[in-house]
Amino acid sequence: MFSKKKIEDQVLVIFGSNGDLARRKLLPAIFQLYTGGFLPSKFIVTGAGSQEKDEAAYRNDVETAIREFLPKEAAAHADELSEFLKQVYYKKVHNQTRSDFEGLRDYLYELTDRLEIHRNIIYYFSIPPFLYETVAANLVEYGLNREEEGWKRIIVEKPFGYSYDTAIELDKKLHSGFNEDQIYRIDHYLGKETVQNIMVTRFYNGFFEPIWNRKYIDRVEITAAEKIGVGGRGGYYDDSGAMRDMIQNHLLQVLAVVAMEPPAIFDSDSIRNETVKVLQALRPIKGSEVAQQVVRGQYIATQVGDKMHPGYRQEQGVAPNSKTETYVAIKAFIDNWRWGDVPFYIRTGKHLPARVTEVVIHLKHAPHQLFKQLCLTQPNNMIILRIHPDAGVAIDFGMKIPGAGYKVHNVEMAFKYADLAEAKIPEAYERLLLDCMVGDSTLYARADAVKASWKFVDPIIQAWKINPDIPLYFYECNTWGPHEANHLFGDSYLKWREPGE
Ligand code: BG6
């Protein structure tokens, strides 16, 4: 399940240690790694946040977060939780105050000396993206990037840049103090077991790959639907929108894994060499094509049962006339030998009826429809790679209904990933943190991939910005988004799947 490489002594510094991501995901993931016995004997976590607090107060916060987001595990491992908390430290750091980093350096040096821990340090940037460059520069200023006394790595959250140009600029700035092998661009979708399983499904078995191409595949649908709205994240989301928040990173990475060529060997470089080729082969959508190939939407206030959901424009931190999209559907093409002219339909949205992430491979019909006159239904041959929830793989095909005649019924053969796991399926952040700790970047996004996906989404975002004629469709909460998204299928009878949870 996890890497068998030896994990060296190390320190994890979390910038933004009081924030939502740290509380919800990072601290619980580290605790899970701790109880699973994956952390080295000498390991500490140092929160670096702008609030004034002492160690005891921060340990208390960490305990609260773990109890809130891992209630069962915290109760089952109460003794281990108190032991774990002894490895948690805190230093007040104001990210934009350069001299605070001198204090951080002295604090880390004093701690590592006292606890006799090697100065191997991961800095996790769990902070707003506009601070990435500043924090990196401040670390460099005080030599906190230097590797004479132990390696140093930075983990940078998405979004990596706001556009193609800013991503290049950010990359340049980070590289002025850190080498590529010190930079880990996290995309938590790549840490999902089920996304990695797509590679195993395709490349371990002999029978998927022969049909995994334009000859047998009619179209591919990739969906990441969420039931929740933007909640308290309106301030961040309004500058980002679904395109930057979900498509540019998570869903294009999933697409790359679905469409990549088999690597010759299974290592970080070979895999990433193949996924980047897919992103580079995405057919650009020109400004003039955006209205035909991309549909954007925004949720409006809706009464669902006895609950009134506010519209996106009424969410905290959102401009009252915001045109930010909370839903996007795209018809994309990958211009290469394997995928020539196979449409890839990609969509994501907030406040949809179900929380579902899946990839659906729709196979072409049999070349000759022998049973056309005898049955009413169309054959529906699909391979469904379910990422969340109920992770697994299902294959849908037609079977004869027993009895007279040749009536055919669509059936599903399903495998649930949970049936296979002896232990629990690890959270994406557990896997990714551990990978960074051992220096394995396979499941982190490489600079060229980030750039290639910006290159694809940038012209769409630009067209929305400059062309007021491209509509923003409004949709009610708890619906599958604007029905105009079905127009992406052209005049055919096809429409988006409406998967249940
Ligand atoms: C995050 C986005 O990266 O991914 C969120 O910023 C989104 O807006 C989340 O809700 C979805 O992740 P998951 O793992 O719940 O599918």
Confidence of residue 194 (pLDDT cuts 50, 70, 90): confident
Mean pLDDT, rounded, for 146-169: 95
Pair 253, 445: CB distance under 8 Å: yes
Q: How far is the CA of 18 from the centre of ligand 1 (A)?
A: 19
| Predicted confidence (pLDDT) per residue in 433-466, tens digit | 999 999 999 899 999 999 999 999 999 999 999 9
Which of the listed residues 24, 126, 157, 188 should we mutate to test ligand 1's pocket, taking the one with most ligand atoms within 8 A of CB? 188
270 sits in which H/E element:
helix 268-280
Measured by CA distance, the residue closest to atom 14 of ligand 1 is 189
Of 375 and 408, the structure prediction assigns the larger pLDDT to 408
Structure tokens at 330: 């795209």
Cα(349)–Cα(246) distance, integer angstroms? 9
Residue 1 has pLDDT above 60, yes or no: no
Residue 87 CB–ligand 1 contact under 6 Å: no
Sheet of strand 152-156: strand arrangement: 88-92, 43-49, 10-15, 121-125, 152-156, 183-185
Mean pLDDT, rounded, for 267-288: 95
User: Between 428-438 and 27-35, two packed helices, what is the crossing angle to 10 degrees?
Assistant: 70
| Predicted confidence (pLDDT) per residue in 205-224, tens digit | 999 999 999 999 999 999 99
Residue 430 CB–ligand 1 contact under 6 Å: no
Structure tokens at 36: 């699973």
Cα(58)–Cα(288) distance, integer angstroms? 53
Cα(133)–Cα(115) distance, integer angstroms? 30
- For the chain, give the percent of residues with pLDDT over 70: 97
Measured by CA distance, the residue closest to atom 8 of ligand 1 is 245
**DSSP secondary structure, 179-190, as one string:** -GGGEEE--GGG
- Outline where DSSP puts E strands in 94-203: 121-125, 152-156, 183-185
| Predicted confidence (pLDDT) per residue in 79-110, tens digit | 999 999 999 999 999 999 999 999 999 999 99
Confidence of residue 401 (pLDDT cuts 50, 70, 90): confident
Residue 288 has pLDDT above 90, yes or no: yes
Q: How far is the CA of 322 from the centre of ligand 1 (A)?
A: 21
pTM for the model stands at 0.93
Query: Strands 43-49 and 10-15, how do they pair?
Result: parallel
Cβ-based neighbours of 114, under 8 Å, separated by 6 or more: none
Confidence of residue 369 (pLDDT cuts 50, 70, 90): confident
Q: How far is the CA of 225 from the centre of ligand 1 (A)?
A: 10
Cα(479)–Cα(12) distance, integer angstroms? 42
Cα(486)–Cα(471) distance, integer angstroms? 15
Burial 189-204 (b: 16+ CB within 10 A, else e): bbbbbbbbbbbebbbe
Tokens 């960490």 locate to: 62
Structure tokens at 391: 């992770």
Instruction: Name the DSSP letter for residue 445.
Output: B
What is the chain's mean pLDDT, rounded? 93
Which of the listed residues 69, 126, 190, 246 should we mutate to test ligand 1's pocket, taking the one with most ligand atoms within 8 A of CB? 246
| Predicted confidence (pLDDT) per residue in 26-49, tens digit | 999 999 999 999 999 999 999 999
Residue 483 has pLDDT above 60, yes or no: yes
Measured by CA distance, the residue closest to atom 6 of ligand 1 is 245
Query: 126 by DSSP, 3-state: which?
Result: coil
Confidence of residue 374 (pLDDT cuts 50, 70, 90): low
| Predicted confidence (pLDDT) per residue in 310-351, tens digit | 999 999 999 999 999 999 999 999 999 999 999 999 999 999
Confidence of residue 405 (pLDDT cuts 50, 70, 90): confident
- Give pLDDT, residue 4: 55
- Give pLDDT, residue 418: 83
Indicate the domain borders of the chain: 10-157, 190-360+421-489
Whether 10-157 and 190-360+421-489 share one fold: the answer is: no
Cα(120)–Cα(7) distance, integer angstroms? 11
Kindly report the CATH class assigned to 190-360+421-489.
alpha beta
Residue 248 burial (CB count, 10 A) = 30
Residue 357 CB–ligand 1 contact under 6 Å: yes
- Give pLDDT, residue 318: 97
Confidence of residue 390 (pLDDT cuts 50, 70, 90): confident
Catalytic residues: 250
Confidence of residue 422 (pLDDT cuts 50, 70, 90): low
Residue 420 has pLDDT above 60, yes or no: yes
Cα(402)–Cα(115) distance, integer angstroms? 72
Kindly report the CATH class assigned to 10-157.
alpha beta
Residue 355 has pLDDT above 60, yes or no: yes
- Give pLDDT, residue 472: 98
Residue 372 has pLDDT above 80, yes or no: no
- Give pLDDT, residue 207: 93
- Give pLDDT, residue 370: 80
Q: How far is the CA of 189 from the centre of ligand 1 (A)?
A: 9
Give phi and psi for 264, each to the nearest 5: -70, -40
Confidence of residue 375 (pLDDT cuts 50, 70, 90): low
